[in-house]
Amino acid sequence: MSRATFVWLCLLPLAVVTVAFFVLPMARLVATGSTGPSGVAAYAAILTEPRYRATLINTVVLAAATTAATLAIATVSGLFLQRQRFAGRPILIAMLTFPLAFPGVVVGFMIILLAGRQGLIGDLSSRLFGEKLVLAYSMQGLFLGYLYFSIPRVILTIMAGVEKLDPRLEEAARSLGAGPWAVHRDVILPALVPAFVASGAIAFATAMGAFGTAFTLATNIDVLPMLIYTEFTLSANIAMAAALSVGLGLVAWAMLALGRTVSGGAVAAAG
Amino acid sequence: MRDRLLFAAQLVFTLLVAAFLIVPALLSMLAGVTANYFRGISSGLTLDWVLQVWDLYADTILRSFEIAFATLACTLVIGVPAAYALHARGDRLARLIEEIITLPLAIPGLAIALALLLTYGGFGDFRRSWSFILVGHVVFTLPFMVRSVMAVLGQIDVRTLDESAASLGASPWRRFRDVIVPNATPGILAGSLMVVTLSLGEFNLTWMLHTPLTKTLPVGLADSYASMRLEVASAYTLVFFVMIIPLLVAMQLIGRRNGRPGTARA
């Protein structure tokens, strides 16, 4: 058997499984999206139907807010952890990356323990101000959940980005009289842009498409994944659910493709 | 003085972020062994909740392990040869294939699950068995195995190794078994840990693909969050932590040895 034949044989199982269980089903999904009463127009309904459009806007705003907040928090902590050496630093890093393997459902539960009816925040606020603060079962809860989910990933990427910075550039800026703020604004932050885009794209795509956290917090949170789920299971509106998932998939894929082109690295979404 | 103040401010900020992440996890571990969470730790520590979780959900825990190891077996058999082939070809077709198999990372699990349901939902026996979930897990974890192995193959001079073995008369299969696989071991190991971790925690696909008789651990978790008292839900989460933390630690250690922090997707 020649080497070329062997290489083809090595690819065969992958090709069979991918075509049978990914390519064909996805083609079926795209086709199903246009089998509803409105046909191909179902895809346009994502933008034209007020209810779907409102959900889409909600989801995009939530994802953008999560991404911005995560980037801001992770940049401060990531710069600090990569630049400073102090006792307890490895433990602090371990604590910040510990939730990496938590699935969305578990993250949802973490938010319930933090900000739910029997949660820590509610407990503290009722003792301090006599009013119980419950954030978990709403958009705020989902925002906290995606923050919880994204911070560990983004911190790791930013720390790796800071490690690669060229310290000579900062020294040059300093020797030219730039203060610490100017060095950050004009040297460090611009150099971190690829890390921001790469990790921001993951955070955004996750917050768009993740289902587990929203499902745990409340089934009536108005975001795209929950809409797809209810269209499919409760309304049995399979065509619309398919069209919406194709739309969601396209947005998530486009965000990650953008992140990858700008950063040159491989990125993956999370749910 | 200014520097010290800035240092202190950043440290406090980072500690707060760490507290945001760690405190709920600690609370849940504590709640899982507290007799009555509402009354607090003074109500006493107990393993009753953990035992109750075992009574209620043992089947989901075992099934999750079954599916995780079956997923691992499939991704090894499919992914390792494929990674070798994609690396060996290294042409435009190989990049296209890599692009296609990586798509399940970008497309939300909900969409993939819906696609599988629409296509295979009518095959009753398949739909009802846990192999339906297995298929979803394999599609979703394969890219991690393929990429992890390809990353290692990219670091070593596979071509020279392969060609020198060929010049000694080794058949392609023997070369793959005795030269490529041993050299790719760090990547196979890292990929395997990732696949098992992801499969054990997978929810987005599994929630749509499961039936009442094929519940997995994360499906059971969602179930307990919705319908059980907080202590039981916490004890169940504790069981999940105990399963997942050794994998996470091993992944970080290997990641450090391979020179890259391991990242996971839930």
pLDDT, tens only, A51-64: 999 999 999 999 99
- Does A173 share its domain with A97? yes
Task: Please count the residues of chain B.
Answer: 266
Asked whether residue A269 is assigned to any structural domain, the reply reads: no
Asked whether residue A256 is assigned to any structural domain, the reply reads: yes
- Nearest to A109, CA basis, from B37, B246, B25: B25
User: What percentage of residues in chain A have a pLDDT greater than 90?
Assistant: 49
Tell which wins on pLDDT, A164 or B265: A164
Asked whether residue A224 is assigned to any structural domain, the reply reads: yes
- Does A21 share its domain with A58? no
- Average pLDDT value over all residues in chain A: 89
Minimal CA separation from B22 to chain A, in Å: 7
- What pLDDT is attached to residue A73? 97
CA–CA separation, A178 vs A176, rounded Å?
A: 6
CA–CA separation, A244 vs A228, rounded Å?
A: 6
Kindly report the number of other CB atoms within 10 A of residue B181's CB atom. 15
- Does A8 share its domain with A117? no
Q: Convert the pLDDT of each residue in A80-121 to its tens digit.
A: 999 889 999 999 998 898 888 899 999 999 999 999 888 888
List of chain A residues whose C-beta atoms are within 8 Å of the C-beta of residue B218: 103, 105-106, 212
B91 touches chain A (CB under 8 A): no
Cβ–Cβ gap B14/A156 under 8 Å: no
- Does A28 share its domain with A44? no
- What pLDDT is attached to residue B262? 42
Q: What is the 3-state secondary structure (H, E, C) of B194-236?
A: HHHHHHHHCCHHHHHHCCCCCCCHHHHHHHHHHHCCHHHHHHH
List of chain A residues whose C-beta atoms are within 8 Å of the C-beta of residue B150: none
Q: What is the mean pLDDT of residues A172-177?
A: 89
Q: What is the mean pLDDT of residues A28-53?
A: 87
Residue with tokens 């790796």: A160
Within 58-97 of A, beta carbons closer than 8 Å to B belong to: 73, 76-77, 79-81, 84, 86, 92, 95-97
Cβ–Cβ gap B108/A210 under 8 Å: yes
Cβ proximity of A245 and A30 under 8 Å: no
Within 23-62 of A, beta carbons closer than 8 Å to B belong to: 23-26, 28-29, 32
Per-residue buried b or exposed e for A171-208, using 16+ beta carbons within 10 Å of the residue's own CB:
eebeeeebeeeebbeebbeebbebbbbbbbbbbbbbbb
Q: What distances in angstroms separate CA B214 from CA A69, A103, A220, B66, one per listed residue?
A: 38, 19, 26, 11
Q: What is the mean pLDDT of residues A261-266?
A: 65
Nearest residue, CB atoms, A96 vs list B21, B81, B208: B21
Cβ–Cβ gap A99/B25 under 8 Å: yes
- Does A89 share its domain with A6? no
Q: What is the mean pLDDT of residues A205-209?
A: 89
| Alpha helix (H) residue ranges in A133-192 | 139-164, 167-175, 180-183, 189-191
- Does A179 share its domain with A256? yes
pLDDT at A268 over 80: no
- Does A72 share its domain with A150? yes
Per-residue buried b or exposed e for A211-239, using 16+ beta carbons within 10 Å of the residue's own CB:
bbbbbbbbeebbbbbbbbbebbeeeebbb
pTM (predicted TM-score): 0.89
Residue of B nearest to A93 (CA): B18
Alpha-carbon dihedral angle through residues B117, B122, B126, B131, given to the nearest 10 degrees: 0
- What pLDDT is attached to residue B201? 93
B165 touches chain A (CB under 8 A): no
- Nearest to B2, CA basis, from A179, A71, A140, A72: A179
Nearest residue, CB atoms, A120 vs list B27, B97, B142: B27
Give the torsion sign (CA, A217, A218, A224, A230): positive
- Top residue of A46, A89, A102, A137 to mutate, by most chain B CBs within 10 Å, is A102
pLDDT tens, N- to C-terminus, chain B (266 residues)? 778 898 999 999 999 999 999 999 999 999 999 888 878 778 888 899 999 999 999 999 999 999 999 999 999 999 999 999 999 988 899 999 999 999 998 888 999 999 999 999 888 899 999 999 999 999 999 999 999 999 999 888 888 888 888 888 888 888 889 889 999 999 999 999 999 999 999 999 999 999 999 999 999 999 999 888 899 999 999 999 999 988 988 887 887 776 544 443 33
Residue of A nearest to B197 (CA): A101
Return the minimum-mean-pLDDT range out of A18-32, A39-53, A148-162, B200-214. A39-53
- What pLDDT is attached to residue A260? 81
- Its domain, for residue A24, covers 1-32
Cβ–Cβ gap A98/B248 under 8 Å: yes
B249 touches chain A (CB under 8 A): no
CATH code for the part of the protein at B56-257? 1.10.3720.10
Identify the CATH number of the domain in which residue A69 sits.
1.10.3720.10
Per-residue confidence band for A271, with pLDDT thresholds at 50, 70 and 90 = very low
Tell which wins on pLDDT, A267 or A46: A46
Nearest residue, CB atoms, B222 vs list A23, A102, A216: A216
ipTM entry:
0.88
- Does A190 share its domain with A169? yes
Cβ proximity of A148 and B261 under 8 Å: no
Q: What is the mean pLDDT of residues A143-167?
A: 92
List of chain B residues whose C-beta atoms are within 8 Å of the C-beta of residue A248: 108, 110-111
- Does A24 share its domain with A103? no
- Does A175 share its domain with A44? yes
Kindly report the number of other CB atoms within 10 A of residue A166's CB atom. 10
Cβ–Cβ gap B207/A211 under 8 Å: yes
| Alpha helix (H) residue ranges in chain B | 2-32, 48-89, 92-106, 109-120, 124-128, 131-155, 158-167, 172-175, 181-201, 204-209, 217-227, 230-257
Residue of B nearest to A215 (CA): B222
CA–CA separation, A245 vs A224, rounded Å?
A: 8
- What pLDDT is attached to residue A265? 53
- Top residue of B118, B236, B238 to mutate, by most chain A CBs within 10 Å, is B118
Classify residue B60 as left (phi > 0), alpha (psi -120 to 50) or beta: alpha
- Does A146 share its domain with A247? yes
CA–CA separation, A251 vs A30, rounded Å?
A: 14
- Does A124 share its domain with A256? yes
- What pLDDT is attached to residue A97? 86
List of chain B residues whose C-beta atoms are within 8 Å of the C-beta of residue A26: 103, 107, 111-112, 115
Asked whether residue A192 is assigned to any structural domain, the reply reads: yes
List of chain B residues whose C-beta atoms are within 8 Å of the C-beta of residue A252: 106-108
* Number of structural domains chain A divides into: 2
- What pLDDT is attached to residue B259? 56
Cβ–Cβ gap B14/A211 under 8 Å: no
- What pLDDT is attached to residue A67? 96
Cβ proximity of A160 and A140 under 8 Å: no
Per-residue confidence band for A269, with pLDDT thresholds at 50, 70 and 90 = very low
- Residue A50 neighbours by CB under 8 Å, 6+ apart: none
Nearest residue, CB atoms, A77 vs list B13, B25, B173: B13
List of chain A residues whose C-beta atoms are within 8 Å of the C-beta of residue B103: 22, 26, 253
